[in-house]
A and B are shown apart, each in its own frame.
Chain A
Amino acid sequence: MNISLNWYDWLGLFGHFLSLSLMAIGGAVTTIPDMHRFLVVDQHWLTEAQFASSIALAQTSPGPNTLYIALFGWNVGLNAGGYGQAMLGMTLSMLGALLPSMLLTYYATRWCRSNRDQIGVRVFMQGMAPIVVALLLSIGWLLSTASNQQGQDIHNWPLWLLTAVTAVLAWKTKTHSLWMLIAGAILGAFISL
């Protein structure tokens, strides 16, 4: 895929991520649909396959899953020319997506710490605990559904089983996550045959 971007387009890329940064309540995952609309549907800067594999790669490689934003920018840059543009795209995307939320977190943390013993803060911390636990379970569930929807229906159950077995192993044993992911990759490769 070949595209050409002018400075106004680069600014638009930066601005789009900037505008989503403070909307990403509950994590950047919640803004994925919006990024898809902008990068793939409206601007045609990324292909569907590039978009999907960026998410899958960032999810399975080490580090925060958010790195798919870096890959979006990187791939837009690659489509536009070469590695120089890829670096530019990656930097603009990450800066835009992270800078506002990072500053907010930094100052909110300081505020929370100095007001730690206030009843409102304590109520919030206690009250949110069950919601937070449920959100972790839900994110796992949603990611599992997302990865299954990419496959054909008849092949779905082994992937579900894989998710369930991994969850129980990681919950009850000290198995290193790398082994479970390698096992997942091998099983996935064979399921696809």
Chain B
Amino acid sequence: MHTETTTIQNMSPTHPHRNAPTSVWDLFLSFNWLSLQGFGGVLGIIQRELVEKKKWLTHKEFIEDWAVAQILPGPNVINLSIMIGERHFGGRGAVAALAGMLLGPLVLVLLLSTLFAQVADLPMAQGALRGMSAAAAGLIMAAGLKLMTALKKNIMGITACALLTSATFIAVALLHQPLIRVLLGLGGLACLWTYRRILLLNKSNTHTEQQIAHHLNDHSPHQDAP
């Protein structure tokens, strides 16, 4: 737990050791490379490449960015690439990341589609496509499972997080509720609860501003010590 905290610390936005893309071109190539690796969805790969390998983002930042990407209309990974690109090189960065994300894969998917059209009637080809879809679904779930570790530090506490996560899963996956309803309902509830927790922490004497800042920003002073 302690090592995890320090790792996240070293990558926090205000910390000098956090990595960043060196140029717009670097941004384009990195996104193109991760996008081309993203068989069965790019989300898992973004998390692996940009958070775990390149360390452009922490787990926590990734979740935050994804929350915004998720709540805004449009494809989430496209939104995410615009957000990350914009952060580093403004408008040029957003365009570079987006172009990297789309260009290579677009050419590839058109090629695949043309090839598949030749064999589309074979049961084996259809079976192979189904098998790949099933594996792709597993990859996306794995990304979710990995991000659960970041919830340990959430201000709401582990129990509330577990309850909210289960409720959301039941509503979306099992009851097929429209997303907008879930985001407004359960998301709204979660935000209210977070707000209440902050107010409580503010009131109690045992918690200082810094400790609240620790929960909210993960770069409080006492944690910067090695």
A interface with B by C-beta (< 8 Å) = 21-28, 30, 49, 53-54, 56-67, 70-71, 74-75, 90, 98, 100-102, 104-106, 108-110, 112-113, 119, 122-144, 146-148, 150-151, 159-160, 162-171, 176-178, 180-181, 183-193
Residues of A within 8 A of B98 (CB): 102
- In the complex, A130 Cα to B144 Cα: how many Å? 10
Which of these, B78, B132, B154, B162, contacts A60 with CB under 8 Å? B132
Could you pull out 30 A-B pairs where Cβ atoms are within 8 angstroms?
A26-B183, A28-B74, A53-B113, A59-B132, A60-B136, A62-B38, A62-B39, A63-B35, A64-B42, A66-B75, A67-B102, A71-B113, A75-B113, A124-B67, A125-B63, A126-B194, A130-B154, A134-B168, A137-B144, A138-B169, A141-B169, A162-B138, A166-B135, A170-B143, A171-B141, A177-B37, A180-B139, A184-B132, A185-B128, A189-B128
Q: Is the CB of A171 within 8 A of B145?
A: yes
Answer whether residue B173 sits at the interface, using C-beta atoms and an 8 A cutoff.
yes
A159 touches B45 (CB 8 A): no
The reply on B200 being an interface residue by CB < 8 A is no
**Binding stretch for chain A, among B4-12, B16-24, B80-88, B203-211:** B80-88
Q: Given the interface contacts A63-B42, A133-B148, A177-B45, does A193 sit within 8 Å of B127 by beta carbon?
A: yes
Q: Interface majority SS on B: helix, strand, loop or mixed?
A: helix
Please tell me if B76 contacts chain A, counting CB pairs below 8 Å.
yes
- In angstroms, Cα B85 to Cα A33, docked, is 31
Tell me if B36 and A63 are in contact (CB < 8 A).
yes
Please report which residues of chain B, range 182-216, place their CB below 8 angstroms from some CB of chain A when the two chains form the complex.
Answer: 182-183, 186-187, 190-195, 198, 215-216
Q: Once bound together, how far apart are the Cα atoms of A58 and B71, in whole Å? A: 23
Across the interface, which residues of A come within 8 angstroms of B36, CB to CB?
62-63
Closest CB in chain A relative to B148 CB, distance in Å: 6
- Which residue in chain A gives the minimum CB-CB distance to B69? A105
Interface size on B, residues (CB 8 A): 105
Q: How far is the CA of A143 from the CA of B130 in the complex (A)?
A: 11
Whether A143 contacts B161 in the complex (CB less than 8 A), given A27-B75, A60-B39, A184-B131, comes out as: no
| Inter-chain contact B137/A140, CB cutoff 8 Å | yes
Given contacts A59-B136, A181-B139, could you give 8 more A-B pairs where the C-beta distance is less than 8 Å? Answer: A56-B130, A64-B102, A70-B106, A131-B186, A135-B179, A138-B168, A138-B172, A162-B138
Residues of B within 8 A of A129 (CB): 63-64, 67, 150-151, 154, 161
A60 to B131, CA, bound (A): 10
In the bound assembly, the distance between CA atoms of A189 and B122 in angstroms comes to 10
Q: Is the interface of A mostly helix, strand, loop or mixed?
A: helix
Q: Is the pair B73, A22 in contact by a Cβ cutoff of 8 Å?
A: yes
Whether the pair B139, A177 counts as a contact (CB closer than 8 A) is yes
Closest to B158 in A: A130
Give min CB distance, A157 to chain B, whole Å.
Answer: 11
In the complex, which residue of chain A has the Cβ closest to the Cβ of B148? A133
A192 to B98, CA, bound (A): 37
B109→A143 contact, CB < 8 A: no
Q: A75's closest neighbor in chain B, by CB?
A: B113
Most chain A beta carbons < 10 A, residue from B73, B168, B169: B73
Q: Judging by beta carbons under 8 Å apart, are A106 and B151 in contact?
A: no
B1 close to chain A: CB less than 8 A: no
Q: Which of B106, B124, B135, B182 contacts A193 (CB 8 A)?
A: B124
Docked-complex contact A104 and B142, CB < 8 angstroms = no
Chain B positions 96 through 118: 1 when the CB is less than 8 Å from some CB of chain A, otherwise 0: 00100110111011101100100
Does the CB pair B108–A128 fall under 8 Å? no
B151 to chain A, nearest CB (A): 6
Taken together as a complex, chains A and B put the C-alpha atoms of A136 and B123 apart, in Å, by 30
Contact of A112 among B68, B143, B162, B187 (CB under 8 A): B68
- Residues in A whose Cβ lies below 8 Å from that of B133: 56, 59-60, 143-144, 146-147, 184
Which residues on A sit within 8 Å (CB–CB) of B125?
A: 189
State the Cβ distance, B88 to closest chain A Cβ, in Å.
11
Chain A residues with Cβ under 8 A from B39's Cβ? 60-62, 177-178, 181
